[in-house]
Amino acid sequence: MVNMDASELSGKLAAIASPQRMRIIALLTGETLHVSELARRMEMSRALLYMHLTKLEEAGFVAGHLELSDDGKAMKFFEVLPFTLTVTAKTLVGAVAAHTESEKV
């Protein structure tokens, strides 16, 4: 991931910019939880949580995988993927340049 495209960078930043999603990552840091449990701790509906998790997963911040518990119940666990995102003016210049570059058909 040497040079990030403007839209890609924008996607990542937007995904992480939401306070709710920041909380999700904070909760999942150090501890992997399944969706329902996470929903309880976040005090939000599962439907809404799915929306947030999808965005985080698309941006590459978290990963989910289905697991069978001891008593045979299917549970989807989510974990945070290690990441470091650094943004400077220079980064942005590069991203914008890479973007307009890719538009040259």
As a residue count, the chain comes to 105
Nearest distance from residue 105's CB to a second copy, in Å?
A: 19
Residue for token pair 């709710």: 20
Gap between the Cα atoms of 98 and 68, Å rounded = 43
Nearest distance from residue 7's CB to a second copy, in Å?
A: 6
Site membership for a second copy, residue 88 (CB under 8 A): yes
Site membership for a second copy, residue 7 (CB under 8 A): yes
> What does the angle CA 80 – CA 85 – CA 88 come to, to the nearest 5 degrees?
165
3-state DSSP assignment of residue 32: coil
Q: Of these partners, DNA, a second copy, none, which one is at the site of residue 90 (CB under 5 to 8 Å by kind)?
A: a second copy
Q: Which stretch binds a second copy (CB under 8 A): 17-25, 40-48, 50-58, 64-72?
A: 17-25
Gap between the Cα atoms of 81 and 58, Å rounded = 12
Residue 24-53 contact track with a second copy, rule CB under 8 A, x = bound: -xx--x------------------------
